């Protein structure tokens, strides 16, 4: 199957990793449907924008029902809220759980079976190295760790039906999230390579995982850490 006939659904395409993934896939010849609450940030003949608030369960389910059977789902939409134990904000925790875990689950519940029925498909969830645990980011870490558990479970269910499921977990990445005032007290730590990870580097790995060459890779969490895990 040529890339021109393949369609990917990508969340969070208005900025950051989601936008980088969508732009890489478009450059590779894919048709891309972007799910985002924000207005479309990409203008391309092969790009379709679907407005959806992915923190809204009903809105997400309705959007998923319109997507048919894509060849790939990349869940990149994300938000970071920080807070030490005893100073947590329940609304912010709910926001992260809804966007990271709830939206992934609702989309996969619809698109995963459709891919399996078609006999092929790829699901990639964007996680984080913070899933290993980090002070002040317990709720964020928990949501990203949950994505790994979901991916491994879905991979086990779908492995015999031509669908792979993986997680790409970057270290601190150069996106607008870095400058979010909500994390003003949590300066990102540069990995040993001496710079932040670039969104296009993450997009390159995602593109590979969506390719036929990656058909034997499933149920894995792959880190792009710039050497941050070397002392583990």
- End-to-end CA separation in angstroms for the chain: 40
**What pTM was estimated for this model as a whole?**
0.92
Helix pair 57-65, 103-118: axis angle to 10 deg = 20
Residue 220 has pLDDT above 80, yes or no: yes
Residue 16 has pLDDT above 80, yes or no: yes
Residue 229 has pLDDT above 90, yes or no: no
Give 1's pLDDT tier (boundaries 50, 70, 90).
low
Average pLDDT, the chain: 92
* 225, 170 Cβ separation under 8 angstroms: yes
Residue 140 catalytic? yes
Buried/exposed code over 179-216 (b: 16+ C-beta within 10 A; e: otherwise)? eeeebeebeeeebeeeebbbbebbbebbbebbeeebee
The three-class DSSP label of residue 178 is helix
Residue 186 has pLDDT above 80, yes or no: no
Predicted confidence at residue 141, as pLDDT, reads 95
Predicted confidence at residue 133, as pLDDT, reads 84
Predicted confidence at residue 88, as pLDDT, reads 76
Which one, of 133, 31, 156, 11, lies nearest residue 74 by Cα?
11
**Could you read off the pLDDT of 39-69 as tens digits, one per residue?**
999 999 999 999 999 999 999 999 999 999 9
Name the active-site residue from 10, 72, 110, 140: 140
Give 228's pLDDT tier (boundaries 50, 70, 90).
confident
CA distance 154 to 223: 19
Compare 192 and 147 and report the one with higher pLDDT.
147
Residue 143 has pLDDT above 70, yes or no: yes
Q: What is the mean pLDDT of residues 211-232?
A: 92
High-pLDDT (> 70) share of the chain, %:
93
| Token duo for residue 42 | 């990409």
Helix pair 103-118, 138-158: axis angle to 10 deg = 10
Residue 223 vs residues 12, 33, 88, 195: alpha-carbon distances, Å: 20, 26, 28, 16
Give 38's pLDDT tier (boundaries 50, 70, 90).
very high
* 186, 134 Cβ separation under 8 angstroms: no
Q: Residue 176 burial (CB < 10 Å; 0-12/13-18/19+)?
A: exposed
């Amino acid at each position: 199957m040529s890339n021109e006939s393949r369609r990917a659904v990508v969340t969070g395409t208005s900025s950051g990793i989601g936008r980088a993934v969508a732009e890489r896939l478009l450059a590779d010849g894919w048709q891309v449907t972007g799910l985002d609450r924000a207005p479309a940030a990409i203008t391309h003949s092969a790009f379709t924008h679907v407005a959806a608030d992915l923190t809204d369960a009903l809105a997400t389910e309705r959007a998923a029902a319109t997507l048919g059977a894509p060849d790939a789902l990349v869940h990149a939409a994300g938000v970071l809220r920080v807070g030490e134990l005893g100073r947590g904000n329940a609304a912010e925790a709910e926001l992260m759980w809804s966007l990271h875990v709830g939206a992934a689950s609702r989309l996969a519940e619809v698109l995963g079976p459709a891919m399996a029925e078609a006999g092929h498909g790829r699901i990639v969830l964007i996680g984080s190295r913070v899933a290993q645990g980090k002070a002040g980011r317990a709720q964020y870490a928990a949501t990203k760790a949950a994505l790994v558990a979901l991916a491994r479970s879905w991979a086990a269910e779908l492995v015999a039906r031509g669908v792979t499921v993986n997680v790409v977990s970057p270290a601190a990445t150069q996106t607008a999230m870095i400058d979010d005032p909500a994390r003003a007290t949590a300066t990102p730590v540069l990995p040993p390579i001496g710079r932040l990870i670039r969104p296009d580097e993450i997009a390159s790995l995602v593109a590979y995982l969506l390719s036929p060459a990656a058909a034997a890779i499933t149920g894995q969490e792959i880190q792009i850490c710039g050497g941050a895990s070397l002392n583990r």
